[in-house]
Amino acid sequence: MKVLVLGGTEFVGRHAVQAALARGHEVTLLNRGLTNPGLFPEAEHLRGDRETTAGLAALSGRRWDAALDTCGYRPRVVRASAEALVDAVQHYTFISSLSVYPDERTPGLDESAPVAELDDPSTEDITDETYGPLKALCEREVRRIFEDGALVIRPGYIVGPNDPTDRFTYWPHRVASGGEMLMPDPGYRVQVIDVRDLGEWWIRLAEHRVDDVFNAVGPEGSLVLGDIVEAARPASRTELTPVSPDTGWLLDQGVDDGDLPLWHPREEEAGVMSFATSKAVAAGLTHRPIGKTVRDTLQWDSTRPAGRPLAAGMDPERERTLIRRWRERLGR
């Protein structure tokens, strides 16, 4: 199968390309050539900036069996790409987001739940408030243009090697550092999907030209934060001592998911880590053991420059201060 990937050299796209190549497909990448330009010498590389009018010119006159859009955020840009490819590919996959659902309170939302709407559909400013609605509009454009040849995948927390967000990496990295570690309730349930499971599943769906919409998340209710910590514990350089203050106290201290990634304890966020995934599992989505994801993430993390600050997680000095305050509160 001949596959076109828009993007393809950073995280989701990178692992999707690896999965396609591993299954023997012929891969073409279209991107600006700015991120990891030396990756995948065995693939064809086309240069173009899809944000510009002429950025899709390299696609003219070409044909592929399937296309994967890993980096579409604005409806105008996604529309232009889909229209440029509607007669050039038989199947178009758009990587969307669970952020399309405005309801973060209700656990168990499936693909039939309402998606967000923008007050101003013409806006192109990407903020915490507009990201989800813009993704929903992008989905709508793809499904309108491709009709029965469109696949929409809505991931939640995507984790694993090469993750630029460090939201998952923070925990294995922090565990490996050892010492007293501030963490929320270790029984807090989380949903994450390994980027490699996502990439492998996508290419199988594309091979069968599946036309549908899927939530792409981890198994429902089977993983807790403590599982991630315990899987990383063998890598700890010194004895690890988790310190888990009361949730209410942490919130009173202004701690949020920016400090302790993957943690959404507020009542209005009760659905963030409990989306329905049965439809995707029925369509072949599989999940590798969390220990494998943790080990491989640590291995990748060890290749980065020592002392490099993470993109997410708590500042060490603030962590020490909060642990001291908690112990003082307990009279210890």
Q: Beta 179-182 vs 157-159: how paired, if at all? A: unpaired
**Cβ neighbours around 274 below 10 Å, total:** 18
Token pair for residue 300?
Answer: 């990748």
Q: List the one residue out of 89, 88, 111 whose CA is nearest residue 98.
A: 111
Contact of 272 with 104, CB cutoff 8 Å: yes
What's the pTM?
0.96
In 3D space, the residue among 222, 235, 248, 270 whose CA is nearest the CA of residue 108 turns out to be 270
Distances (CA, A) of 107 to 31, 110, 144, 192: 37, 9, 29, 15
Angle at 212 between CA 72 and CA 74, to 5 degrees: 15
What are residue 216's DSSP bridge partners?
A: 155
Which CATH number describes the domain made up of 2-155? 3.40.50.720
How far is residue 306's CA from residue 287's CA, in Å, rounded to a whole number?
A: 31
pLDDT at residue number 53: 79
Q: Each residue's pLDDT tens digit in the chain (332 positions)?
A: 999 999 999 999 999 999 999 999 999 999 999 999 999 999 999 999 998 879 999 999 999 999 999 999 999 999 999 999 999 999 999 999 999 999 999 999 999 999 999 989 889 999 999 999 999 999 999 999 998 899 999 999 999 999 999 999 999 999 999 999 999 999 999 999 999 999 999 999 999 999 999 999 998 888 999 999 999 999 988 899 999 999 999 999 999 999 999 999 999 999 999 999 999 999 999 999 999 999 999 999 999 998 889 999 999 999 999 999 999 998 87
Residues 110/216, Cβ–Cβ less than 8 Å: no
**pLDDT at res. 27:** 98
Q: Where are the domains of the chain?
A: 2-155, 170-190+221-273+290-324
Cα R_g (the chain), whole angstroms: 21
Count CB-CB contacts under 10 A for residue 277: 22
Beta strands in the chain (DSSP E): 2-6, 26-31, 44-47, 64-69, 89-95, 150-155, 157-159, 179-182, 192-194, 212-216, 240-243
